Structure 1
């Protein structure tokens, strides 16, 4: 039997971190996943899923994700039931996340207008050359320059270099 789900979407609420009586961390959160098509009115609809993650991953989710964060979930669907306070049986279907991937930098949704990640802070800081003397000038490369642009020179490729 196969029970595998992979979702990419945005959190619908801040993760709620709790601990079991044995001290095991568990976090609950919701995720909205856009459908790949539009409805008859041209609007994109979404599906909403409740997710549960355990242990260290639960603590990381609670510390680093918030409502609106983009995340990738790899896990399985699990159903359970319980009796509520009125004595009615409630059935719950949720995603038991085995892996949660943070798909955007922590400050991406802050709207600060600053760099989105460490690479952009480095790349946006101008030409940073490492080395000394003439080697520094000779080895400097503009990070925005396209290394595959056509510079008018023929490309020398041996048939042995081709994978086919």
Structure 2
């Protein structure tokens, strides 16, 4: 049997980090994932999928993701139920993430504006000139540099 989920979407609010009584980190958030079609009026629909992340990945997600961050999730669907304060049975379906990928630099969101300092400059990749739209650029620090790179063979992973 297979229970595998791969999602790419944006966080609907800041992740919520908590710790279990045993000290295990757990982070939860909702991921907005666009549907592959639009309504008749041209409006894009999205699903809002609850995600739970455990342990070190939970701490990383809480530290490096925020509302609007683009993230990739690899995990599995899990259902659980509990009885609420009114005595009613509540069923919850959520994605338990095995892996969380940060798909853009911290503080950069769909508007293209950076809200915090990062190591990415706003230079155009091809010309090296400033971009007027403020769209983030993932510059290659070695692009256009004809200097040799000094790497010791002992540092290579292969």
List aligned pairs for 1:29-68, cutoff 5 A: 29-68=29-68
How far apart, in 2, do the equivalents of 1:122 and 1:111 lie?
15
SS at match of 1:63: helix
8 A contact 1:15–1:66 mirrored in 2: yes
TM normalised by structure 1 equals 0.70
Higher CA-based Rg = 1
Structure 2 unaligned regions, length at least 5: 131-141, 148-158
CA RMSD of aligned residues (A): 2.9
8 A contact 1:3–1:76 mirrored in 2: yes
How far apart, in 2, do the equivalents of 1:122 and 1:36 lie?
31
Change (3 A) 1:85 1:108: same
Match of 1:20 in 2: 20
Q: Does 1:98 align with 2:98?
A: yes
Change (3 A) 1:19 1:115: closer
Structure 1 runs, 4 residues or longer, greater than 3 Å off:
112-126
Number of corresponding residues: 130
Structure 1 unaligned regions, length at least 5: 131-136, 141-164
TM normalised by structure 2 equals 0.73
Change (3 A) 1:113 1:82: closer
Q: Give the structure with the larger helix fraction.
A: 1
Of 105, 113, 122, which residue of structure 2 is paired with 1:111? 113
Match of 1:157 in 2: none
8 A contact 1:50–1:95 mirrored in 2: yes
SS at match of 1:108: coil
